[in-house]
């Protein structure tokens, strides 16, 4: 393995904001190397892999990563369930010979198995991928940590000599349309309106997830040339313009392949709540909140995310709320949560969970929003 410097580019954003779509659009470019799915290499290496070396990450790759979801027709693969499909896309339809990939992986190792340099380890993983795909390895590697990588910006800057960040954002109202359906279908009763993701570990604060961390990153890095902030709406409504802009950022040649989502060059099944093969980019998920959310929900999200809407120029969503109207909005959602509780609570141990939801979780939701909501209009 040569010592050529590699540019690592991490795609990140809040859940259901278009990170997977963006990764699939970069999948087939001949100047890029990528596992076109959210592998969360950085997150796993820092927090979930016990042995923080080559062998530890290798074990993750073959036993716990999304590679095991590929190709349901193989005897040793797993059939992907619906919740996984909505997060990652329908990977079970993608043909991937894991045994062949493993053989190439084992046959080409030529460095210390105790290697702890994540940059060097990931370079090897992607060298193997390009050999498997019969492609030439290039010096630009795309990784995806999604929402998990947002709180690890400083760690990544320390881990990689040369790194850039692609951060994609989306109107929280449309994000909630997707999350509301997921919460109802899969009974994620601990999630409330505005809780697009929950801390995956107890020590993680609410300020380090969702749009709060996006605002924080934007404030710190909006003028940093290593960062490119993209809006989902711009991407799907004017994809060529955005992908040309992205090409300039990555210093690669723009290609028409960047307008066609794929996984290892194969058709990608989108991870929206619509089960459909994505042969091209469409804007059908934009503005769905108009017909899917009620006035109280719209008001609450616009009240809660005033700073985000201002940062990313969602001008139609920047509204002023008085102290009294803000309190009314929160109480209306509190009551709506009580009325809709039955729809989001699993049948197993229903009574216990119902009481927990209505007496503890919903009251906590009320208190934290009354205390933390930004009542004053931002200038």
Domain ranges of the chain: 7-278, 289-372
* Cβ atoms 226, 163 nearer than 8 A: yes
Least confident of 69-73, 106-110, 212-216: 69-73
Confidence (pLDDT) at 203: 61
Confidence (pLDDT) at 223: 97
Q: What percent of the chain has pLDDT over 90?
A: 68
Global pTM exceeds 0.85: yes
Confidence (pLDDT) at 335: 97
> How far, CA to CA in Å, does 112 sit from each of 68, 117, 123, 129?
26, 11, 14, 20
At residue 42, does pLDDT exceed 70?
yes
Name residue, tokens 């530890």. Answer: 56
> Residue range 185-207: average pLDDT?
73
Residue 6 — left, alpha, or beta (φ > 0 → left; ψ -120 to 50 → alpha)?
A: beta
Confidence (pLDDT) at 75: 47
> Residue range 43-55: average pLDDT?
92
Q: What percent of the chain has pLDDT over 70?
A: 87
Q: Alpha helix locations (H) across the chain?
A: 19-25, 41-43, 54-63, 82-88, 98-107, 118-132, 153-159, 172-186, 210-221, 232-237, 239-250, 289-292, 295-304, 306-311, 323-339, 341-344, 350-355, 362-372
Confidence category of residue 67, pLDDT binned at 50, 70, 90: confident
Phi then psi for residue 142, to 5 deg, are: -100, 125
At residue 297, does pLDDT exceed 70?
yes
Determine the topology of domain 7-278 in CATH: Rossmann fold (3.40.50)
> Residue range 85-103: average pLDDT?
77
Instruction: Count CB atoms within 10 A of the CB of residue 100.
Output: 10
At residue 220, does pLDDT exceed 50?
yes
Closest CA to 160 of 42, 55, 248, 247: 42
At residue 331, does pLDDT exceed 60?
yes
At residue 259, does pLDDT exceed 60?
yes
Confidence (pLDDT) at 276: 55
Q: Which residues contact 356 (CB under 8 A, 6 or more apart)?
A: none
Q: Which residues contact 166 (CB under 8 A, 6 or more apart)?
A: 9, 10, 11, 12, 22, 228, 230, 246, 249
């Amino acid at each position: 393995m040569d010592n050529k410097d590699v540019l690592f580019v991490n795609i990140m954003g809040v859940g259901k904001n278009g990170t997977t779509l963006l990764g699939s659009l970069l999948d087939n470019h001949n100047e890029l190397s990528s596992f076109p799915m959210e592998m969360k290499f950085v997150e796993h290496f820092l927090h979930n892999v016990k042995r923080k070396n080559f062998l530890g990450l290798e074990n993750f790759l073959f036993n716990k990563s999304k590679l095991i979801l590929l190709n349901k027709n193989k005897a040793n693969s797993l059939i992907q369930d619906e919740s996984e499909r909505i997060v990652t896309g329908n990977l079970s339809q993608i043909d991937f010979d894991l045994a062949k990939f493993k053989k190439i992986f084992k046959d080409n190792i030529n460095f210390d198995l105790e290697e702890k340099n994540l940059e060097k380890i990931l370079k090897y993983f992607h060298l193997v991928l390009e050999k498997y795909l019969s492609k030439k390895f290039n010096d630009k590697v795309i990784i995806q940590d999604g929402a998990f990588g947002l709180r690890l910006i400083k760690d990544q800057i320390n881990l990689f000599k040369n790194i850039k960040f692609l951060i994609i954002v989306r109107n929280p109202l449309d994000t909630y349309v997707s999350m509301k359906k997921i919460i109802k279908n899969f009974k994620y009763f601990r999630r409330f309106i505005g809780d697009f993701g929950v801390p995956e570990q107890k020590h993680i604060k609410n300020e380090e997830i969702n749009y709060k961390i996006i605002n924080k990153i934007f404030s710190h890095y909006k003028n940093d040339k290593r960062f490119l902030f993209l809006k989902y709406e711009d991407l799907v409504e004017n994809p060529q313009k955005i992908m040309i802009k992205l090409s300039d950022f990555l210093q690669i040649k723009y290609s028409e392949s960047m307008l066609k989502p794929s996984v290892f060059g194969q058709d990608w099944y989108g991870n929206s709540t619509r089960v459909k093969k994505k042969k091209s980019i469409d804007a059908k998920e934009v503005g769905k909140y108009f017909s899917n959310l009620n006035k109280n929900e719209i008001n609450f999200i616009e009240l809660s995310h005033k700073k985000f809407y201002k940062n990313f120029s969602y001008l139609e969503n920047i509204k002023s709320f008085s102290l009294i109207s803000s309190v009314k909005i929160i109480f209306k959602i509190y009551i709506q949560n009580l009325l809709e509780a039955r729809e989001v609570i699993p049948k197993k141990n229903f009574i216990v969970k119902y009481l927990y939801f209505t007496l503890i979780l919903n009251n906590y939701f009320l208190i934290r929003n009354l205390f933390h909501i930004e009542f004053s209009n931002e200038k």
